[in-house]
Amino acid sequence: MKSFAFVFPGQGSQAVGMLDAWGDHPAVQQTLQETSEALGEDVARLIHEGPKEVLALTTNTQPVMLVAGVAAWRVWCAAGGAKPAALAGHSLGEYSALVAAGVLTLAQAAPLVRLRAAAMQEAVPVGAGAMAAILGLEASKVISGCAEAVVSLGGAEVVEAVNFNDPAQTVIAGTKAGVEKACEVLKATGAKRALPLPVSAPFHSSLMKPAAEKLRVALESVVLAEPQIPVVNNIDVAVRTDAAQIRDALYRQAFGPVRWVECVQALKARGITHLVEAGPGKVLAGLTKRIDAELTGLPLFDPATLAEVMEALK
């Protein structure tokens, strides 16, 4: 069998009805039931009915993406799928990876993710922060362009590179004025496009530090088990097995960049050739090919893609 990793998407891949294709699959139903009990609400109904605007609220998006990732993982396991060589998750997806690795139970992860989402939303008032995707410019130039923008604004604003998604796509975040200025600077530097993102907070920027502090307090009381599968984390691009180190990485991840390009490269360095994206959409599968053409990205989000993954990994 080919050497493969499971990777889990983050915020932005959610869609109303994203679990409908699984029908009444026992693993999916169990995942929905556990999460609903942990959060005290009907998560299955929220995912099935939406509406889209309610599903897009950060406090809902983060828990439902956790559910979708864990559901796909459990379906894989129920189908007799082999154990992956490693796991990773983009931003929020790291929580799904930690559930798959046995570090967190779903009942532990769901309230943590909701608290994380609420704290992030509270950290910066809606409209005060912003994010934008910078396309067609290498990461080092995006970093220096953000620094230039901050200097030109007298150091009063914040803008930082926060998601290194592929070699030519980096997301920036910060104050609204900081992001707007950086977009101007980066387009003048040679970026093909600077696209404002429809998000409610400047995720992974230093403005999220107050949210991270709340998350750190919550993490202190959560008992973590030893990973059964290696998890490459976002913040250090490293595999941690010590509970204190895993907690610290989750804390710093909330206000630090998602180093996805390096995570994918680290998976390849472990001899992995195929990355299975467990959850809705094909975002990470697409990024995989752009990061390294020698790697294969495979989405897994319904019975048809499950069969395709099983066949591809033989």
Q: β-pairing, 169-175 with 129-135? A: antiparallel
Condensed to tens digits (0 to 9), the pLDDT of residues 36-75 reads 999 999 999 999 999 999 999 999 999 999 999 999 999 9
Please report, for residues 4, 131, 154, 208, 299, the alpha-carbon distance to residue 198 in angstroms, rounded to integers and kept in the order given.
33, 8, 27, 17, 24
How many Å separate Cα 75 from the centre of its chain?
20
Q: Which of 105, 39, 30, 110 is nearest to 71 (CA)?
A: 30
- Of 200, 204, 205, 274, which is the active-site residue? 204
Is 90 considered catalytic here?
no
Q: How far apart are CA 36 and CA 161, in angstroms?
A: 35
Burial class (CB in 10 A: 0-12, 13-18, 19+), 206: middle
- Of 91, 96, 200, 205, which is the active-site residue? 91
Is 204 considered catalytic here?
yes
Condensed to tens digits (0 to 9), the pLDDT of residues 193-229 reads 999 998 889 999 999 999 999 999 999 999 999 999 9
What is the pLDDT at residue 199? 86
Condensed to tens digits (0 to 9), the pLDDT of residues 164-189 reads 999 999 999 999 999 999 999 999 99
Q: Can you give the pTM of this predicted structure?
A: 0.97
What is the pLDDT at residue 1? 87
What is the pLDDT at residue 25? 98
Q: How confident is the model at residue 117 (pLDDT cuts 50, 70, 90)?
A: very high
Q: Which of 147, 141, 148, 144 is nearest to 169 (CA)?
A: 141
Here the tokens at position 40 are 């005290």
Condensed to tens digits (0 to 9), the pLDDT of residues 247-273 reads 999 999 999 999 999 999 999 999 999
Q: Which of 19, 37, 27 is nearest to 107 (CA)?
A: 37
Mean pLDDT of 124-144: 96
Please report, for residues 9, 29, 261, 294, 296, the alpha-carbon distance to residue 285 in angstroms, rounded to integers and kept in the order given.
10, 26, 12, 13, 8
What is the pLDDT at residue 167? 97
